Amino acid sequence: NNQFCDAGTAYGKLACGTATAPTSKILIKGGTVVNAHHKEVSDVYIEDGIIAAVQKNIVVADDVKIIDATGKYVMPGGIDPHTHLAMEFMGTETIDDFFSGQAAALAGGTTMHIDFVIPVDGSLSAGYEAYVKKAERSAMDYGFHMAITKWDDTVSREMEVMVKEKGINSFKFFMAYKGSLMISDELLLEGFKKCKSLGALAMVHAENGDAVFEGQKRMIELGITGPEGHALSRPPALEGEATSRAIRLAGFVNTPLYVVHVMSIDAMEEIAKARKSGQKVIGEPVVSGLELDDSILWDSDFHRAAKYVMSPPIRAPGHSKALQAALSTGVLQLVGTDHCTFNSTQKAMGIDDFRKIPNGVNGLEERMHLVWDTMVASGQLSVTEFVKVTSSECARIFNIYPKKGAILVGSDADVIVLNPNSSFEISAKSHHYRTDTNVYEGRRGKGKVEVTIAGGRIVWEEEELKAVPGWGKYIKMAPFNYLFDGLERADAEYLSSLRAPVMRSSIHTT
Ligand SMILES: NC(=O)NCCC(=O)O
Ligand SMILES: [Zn+2]
Ligand SMILES: [Zn+2]
């Protein structure tokens, strides 16, 4: 059973299976069932990939697989709102594809992710078709966001098709990566207006790309070509500026905004201010931002330092603690990973020039464990809040709740069993990615996902992974999530607040 089912795509024990294998009947007994707002000891019965019953003392026939969860937590599988699998980026392609990234995710208790479709030469439909192919061998459920990289009538029409026919309800605008993905403020405004009319959520990568470009030139002129130049060239102020600008432009258009990978106090404080004033702004910290600091970027070994290069950069000590506090108080709402992995050879593309180091770090497999250890085991988040920030809030924002993100009768059977008394240790030697390094190497902590059930199938149990191409489904997401409720009222108020125009005479006197 411990053979490689898909040689070379995942490390560790990986059992085989077939795409058409039926789901089993499963009873999870005696655990504490946790939802975003409630927890209680209960049994959970699963049949045909769906949660069929949640109640005490369920009695079942002999053909039902029983999992004893006494003393453990039974929770919705994690949903990662931010991944890049098989992404072509900075002259290369991420080493983890949909299958290997998802296999690793399942081993870490994440049962769904939302990946970013990158248009092909600006074309959304070509980008969509390319990602449908990339995701063909999916082992777990997934959805798509879509990036917007240029603006014309075709793009505007294609956005409509993506929302109305393809099940995409969010569009991402890159305010950085000048010369490739970066867009202008004019495009941002057009895009925000279109998002609003379609009920789609606008998302931003918030860094001032022009200033980053200037910062990079400055570092090269100073002779700083190593990974530390990456952090020095794009300081927190540039993230704060772009976050503020995106928030103000979204406010001007009156559409909800989702700020991805909030990495700095500067950006977080802009979100806090906007939310306090009543604006609908969601802030997503990522695990690397909550966990790491930038000191390793100054390591004299290029390879050790380069694996931490991502954008916005991992920040100086202090930022991660502030982001944790913001998550625990609700200023930030859900945790992603921005999982975007490149191996050592790919990272070495930038050995003479930090601008050529492919940007991105791992996190898909580690997110649930690290959020548990850093936020729950430390007392910063309750167990129910853990479910909220790792699963339910993502499902709500992207309009798939309670199909996803809940242990309720009728919800998809994406369920994990977490043992709070067990522990984890992270290493590239044992992780399930294709990449050869791990930015959390050696990190240990409390709390371990012992069982993962995805779509009603046990895919992770007793350290054995059963990730099977074809077991994952594409999840369509409908527009007009809860953030759009009441927006028309604000629009009407805006119109009535305009002071009446002055009627001027067109007759000129001499
Ligand atoms: N974040 C990062 O460094 N790589 C992935 C692309 C992005 O999200 O900006
Ligand atoms: Zn980004
Ligand atoms: Zn990203």
- In the chain, pLDDT over 70 holds for what percent of residues? 96
Centroid of ligand 2 to alpha carbon of 417 (angstroms): 31
Per-residue model confidence (pLDDT) at position 24: 86
User: 311 C-alpha to center of ligand 2: Å?
Assistant: 6
pLDDT value of residue 253: 97
pLDDT < 50 regions, the chain = 1-4, 7-13
pLDDT of residue 21: 79
CB-based contact 269:263 (threshold 8 Å): no
Site to probe by mutation for ligand 1, drawn from 183, 338, 347, 361 as the one with most ligand atoms within 8 Å of Cβ, is: 338
For the chain, helix (H) and strand (E) counts, in that order, are: 16, 18
Nearest ligand to the CA of 338 is 3
Do 189 and 249 touch, CB atoms closer than 8 A? yes
DSSP string, 363-410: -TTTHHHHHIIIIITTTSS-HHHHHIIIIIHHHHHTT-TTTSS--STT
CA of 83 to the centre of ligand 2 (A): 10
Residue 432, CA atoms < 13 Å, CB-side half-sphere: 29
Predicted confidence at residue 104, as pLDDT, reads 98
Name which residue sits closest to atom 3 of ligand 1, judged by CA.
Answer: 310
List, in order, residues 6 or more apart from 348 with CB less than 8 Å away: 302, 303, 306
pLDDT at 93: 98
- What's the pTM value of the predicted model, to 2 decimals? 0.96
Is any ligand 1 atom within 6 A of the Cβ of residue 257?
A: no
- Atom 1 of ligand 1, nearest CA residue: 311
What pLDDT does 261 receive? 98
Q: How many CB atoms lie within 10 A of CB 276?
A: 9
C-beta 358 within 6 A of ligand 1: no
Locate 187 and state its tokens.
Answer: 């495009």
Atom of ligand 1 nearest to the CA of 174: 9
256 lines ligand 1 (CB under 6 A): no
What's residue 229's pLDDT? Answer: 98
206-258 pLDDT, tens per residue? 999 999 999 999 999 999 999 999 999 999 999 999 999 999 999 999 999 99
- 338 CB within 6 A, ligand 1: yes
Asked if 412 and 49 touch (Cβ cutoff 8 Å), the reply is: yes
Per residue in 353-407, pLDDT (tens digit) is: 999 999 999 999 999 999 999 999 999 999 999 999 999 999 999 999 999 999 9
Smallest CA separation from ligand 1 atom 7, residue: 311
* Residue among 352, 145, 318, 116 at smallest CA distance from 229: 352
